[in-house]
Each structure stands twice: as structure tokens, then as C-alpha cells.
Amino acid sequence: MAKSPKISASHEPGGLIVHISGLLPSLSPAEQRVARLVVADPADAARRTITDLATAAETSEATVIRFCRSVGMDGYPQLRIRLAAEAARRIEPPDARVVGGDIPPGADLAQIIATIAFNDARAVEETAEQLDPAICEQVVEAIGGAGRIDVYGAGASGFVASDFQQKLHRIGRTAFYFPDVHTALTSAALLGRGDVAVGISHTGTTSDVIEVLEQARARGATTVALTNFPRSPITEVADFVLTTAARETTYRSGAMASRLAQLTVVDCLFVGVAARNRARAKKALEATAEAVKSHRVGATRRRG
């Protein structure tokens, strides 16, 4: 072999390990011993110091360096980094994903956590995928230009409604939420053209919310529905319909994933509205942050 030719030098496709085992035969005996260790357990090799690895391969540090150069690395540290990365990448996904959705009786906490997180994350992602940006845009426009915004929701969706109200309020929009149907109806009766009413209902069948939204619409307000079911009754009283994409399973009847999906939609609308008037929103946010500042205690340092 001539003067150490840079073999497939800078770029070794298909992984460093493969690359190394490929040119194993072309290496000198001492280098081969190093190579074999590396290939056998990349993660372990990455943890070792050069002296350590040299000893393990029954050779000197110099040879390890030569080996590094032979496989196209600049030096030992680079090899280490690359090996660590390689080893991490080839780690198998933890185990058969807990896809099913429902939680088997006798499941342990780790299983429960994995299942819930998987479904929650899925709901968020799928919701985002099916959200229509054009409709969102119109809703954002309406909210951004509204004189007043009413947000309705009952039960679990009530929290989401309340959250949305708080968010809008924090960026200086006039928004209301009513935990009580009667108050909500009263408020809806006072809405008019240029106002916006948002109704949130996972099932889309919550009569209280539908009723209030209907009232708001009758008064000329722009109505928005947020539901998981695009053909549910609530959509009939809404000018704009936004849908979530949560697939609830029996045991999770508390509408767990749907709540997260709803919140994601709320976040999108919120950021959309805020982005519409950056300066003002930013100022309002800063003011509200300042307001609660005295209720924060200094962050801890090292425990002592």
C-alpha cells in the first residue's frame, strides 16, 4: 500500500462503523486490533480515553492515532464524538410503542405514561395537520379586529375556554369567559356585529354551549366553533369551524387528549392574534409579567 491514501476520506456514507469494518483488512495488525474493539462496541470505545483504548488493544497511543487517520478522522477526539453519535443513532426505539391507546388492566406506571404521552402527542400533531390555515387566518382576523370576544365552554372544555380568555386578555384584547350558562346567555345577548363568540365543545353536542353560540349569532356576532366532530350540532351555529383530531379511548373518557388538542388550537389562534400586532401584544405581555413579579421568589442556586 502506498503512502496512506485518504480512503473515501471526509465522507463515509452508511455509517462510520460500516466504513471502518470495510477497510479493516487494509489496516496494519495493530490498527486492526483497535478497529475490532471499536466496531465491537462503539459506545464503549467512545467512553474510553486514548490511553485506555490503546492498552485494551495491546498497543500504543500512537497506533490509535494512526488508526484515526486511517479511517479519515483528524484525531482521537473526533473519532470519539463520531462514535458516540453513531452508537446513539443505532439504538433501537425503546420497545414496541404503546400504540393501542387503551390501557390494559394491571399496566404499570411506565406503561401508562408511555401510552398517554404517545396519544397526547399524536393528538396534537394530527390536529395541527388537519387544521386549515385559511380558516384560522379568518378567525384570527375576526378576533384581532373584534370589539369584544366571548369564549364559551362547559366541563373540561370550560378550562380551555377560560385559558383562551385569559390569553387574549393578556395581550390586551377584551375577552370574557362565563362558567355559568345564564351569565353567558346574558352576555351573548349583548354581542353585536364586529364581536366574536367562540364555542368550545369536544363532542359538539353540549347544549349549553350551542345555545349560547346560537344566541350570539342571532345578535350578529361572528361565531367560531372548536370541536372534535366536524358534523356535530355545534357546527350548525358557527360561521367558522375548527376541529381537533383526538381519538379518545374508553378509559380516557375524561377527554384527555382532546383537551390538549384544543389547547394547541387555542395557542395557534393566540399567537396568530399576537403576531398580528406584535408591538402591542409584546407590551401587554410585559406589563402582565411585571404585575405578577412580586409573587415570584428568587430562583434557587445550588442547594446548600
Partner DNA sequence: GCCACGGATGAAACTTACTTTCATGAGGCG
Partner DNA sequence: CGCCTCATGAAAGTAAGTTTCATCCGTGGC
Helices (H), 41-108: 42-47, 50-56, 61-70, 76-89
Q: Name the helix (H) or strand (E) containing 38.
A: helix 29-40
Q: By CB under 7 A, name the one of 68, 103, 184, 260 that touches DNA.
A: 68
304 binds DNA (CB under 7 A): yes
Stretch that binds DNA, among 74-82, 104-112, 230-238, 240-248 (CB under 7 A): 74-82
In the numeric block, the cell 377560560 is attached to 162
User: 49: helix, coil or strand?
Assistant: coil
Would you count residue 55 as binding DNA (CB under 7 A)? no
Q: How far is the CB of 57 from its own copies (least distance, A)?
A: 19
Q: Does 75 bind DNA (CB under 7 A)?
A: yes
Among 11, 193, 278, 301, binds DNA (CB under 7 A): 301
What are the grid coordinates assigned to 275, written together? 403576531
**Contact, 248 vs 119, CB < 8 A?**
no
Given CA atoms 19, 25, 30, 32 in this order, what sign does their dihedral have? positive
Q: Shortest CA distance to 243 belongs to which of 138, 123, 144?
A: 123
Q: Which of 24, 65, 156, 285 binds DNA (CB under 7 A)?
A: 65
Closest distance to its own copies from the beta carbon of 86 (Å): 7
C-alpha cell recorded at residue 194? 364586529
Position 31 contacts DNA (CB under 7 A) = yes
Q: Does 20 bind DNA (CB under 7 A)?
A: no
Using CB under 7 A, list all residues that contact DNA.
1, 28-31, 49-51, 58-63, 65-66, 68, 74-77, 80, 301-302, 304
